[in-house]
Amino acid sequence: MFGQTMLGRANLSDSANRIFSIEVEGLRQSDASDRLSYSIRNSGTTSIRVPYSRLNEEMQRINRLGGKIVGVKAAS
């Protein structure tokens, strides 16, 4: 039982330190992005790197800005 708990904690800390790459298509300027101090370009695809702890938040932000998530993969 003790070994299983320690193993679970080790896996949790490993995943917390992982970086993921989100491939996004069609980010565009919108009402939400107008409030930013920089413009969002409308391009084919772009890649955004985020830590695991911010992955869900960043995916929601991309959807709000009108982008389409093409793929998500662990960055090496």
Name the residue type at position 54: R
Residue 9 above 80 pLDDT? Answer: no
Distance CA(14)–CA(3), nearest Å, equals: 17
Residue 58 above 90 pLDDT? Answer: yes
Report if residue 11 sits inside a domain: no
Per-residue pLDDT at 1: 45
What is the three-state SS of 3-72?
HHHHHHHHHHHHHHCCEEEEEEECCCCCHHHHCCCCCCCCCCEEEEEEEHHHHHHHHHHHHHCCCEEEEE
Range of the domain at 40: 19-74
Name the residue type at position 71: G
CATH (domain of 45):
3.30.1490.170
Report if residue 13 sits inside a domain: no
Per-residue pLDDT at 31: 60
Please count the structural domains in the chain.
1
Mean pLDDT of 25-54: 72
Provide the mean pLDDT of the chain: 76
Report if residue 67 sits inside a domain: yes
Per-residue pLDDT at 15: 64
Mean pLDDT of 10-33: 73
pTM of the full structure: 0.61
If one counts every other C-beta atom within 10 angstroms of the C-beta of residue 27, the result is 19
